[in-house]
Amino acid sequence: MHYHSTGELLLLFASLLKIVAALTVTEDTTLTGDQTFSEAVTIEDGATLTLKEGSVYKFENDLSVHGGLVLDNRNVDGTVSFNRESSLNVTGSFELAVSNDVDMFFTSFYNSGSIYVKGSAVVQPAVTFEGLEVFINDGTIDAGSLDEGPAHSAIAFGDAFDPKKTPFINNGKVVVSGTEKFIEGNVVYLLAGNAVSFYAPVEGTGSVEVTNSYIGLNAETKCRRP
């Protein structure tokens, strides 16, 4: 009996601490430590969810950011993972600070708000975006503007290792700005700048602004102007 109830107690603690089921955030909320979201996460307009002091963040279902999401995982051993069978819908602001590569692969990737990638001073983490069926940016996807002091990051559209035909439809802005000089005289500091690479075909009427950074285009990349 004693062991039985201890077991139940541990289970209860485990589910309170580790697994967050369907979550709708309606007011500013901060969660510290590792998090697994097994059900959909929706952050409503006007509310911000802050995730910090963890090293493993797992989103196993749809993620909708209509307010703010601040995810801080600047831990070189840390991981942030998403489920490629789910959808991402950002109409608010999503700030992602990482020190390790993150694959943001979704069946439906839609952004009409802002997605900010903050880099790391010691490594250049790569954040890769992909929408397997819907892959649309009507807002801003930014690597670097929110960096505080020297930091590096790389973003990619489409998976370099498994390029898909689904075009990245950019009607908004992609902004990539390094905090340090990338080229000085005839010297190129490859790791000093930020980087953006396009592995998916690119369509749409949007723009790509690159400062102190490196841009990579694959052979299939097409740019269309309005």
Ligand X SMILES: *[C@@H]1O[C@H](CO)[C@@H](O)[C@H](O)[C@H]1NC(C)=O
CB of 121 vs ligand X, minimal distance in Å: 34
CB of 185 vs ligand X, minimal distance in Å: 46
Distance between CA atoms of residues 114 and 157, nearest Å:
16
Nearer to ligand X, 133 or 184 (CB): 133
Nearer to ligand X, 93 or 99 (CB): 93
Nearer to ligand X, 112 or 221 (CB): 112
Nearer to ligand X, 108 or 211 (CB): 108
- Interface contacts to ligand X, rule CB under 6 A: 66, 89, 91, 108, 110, 134
Helix (H, G, I), strand (E, B) or coil at 77: coil
Tell me which amino acid residue 54 is.
G
CB of 63 vs ligand X, minimal distance in Å: 11
Query: Which of 25, 105, 112, 39 is closest to 70 using CA atoms?
Result: 25
Query: Which of 184, 188, 194 is closest to 216 using CA atoms?
Result: 194
CB of 124 vs ligand X, minimal distance in Å: 30
CB-CB contact of 97 with 74 (8 Å): yes
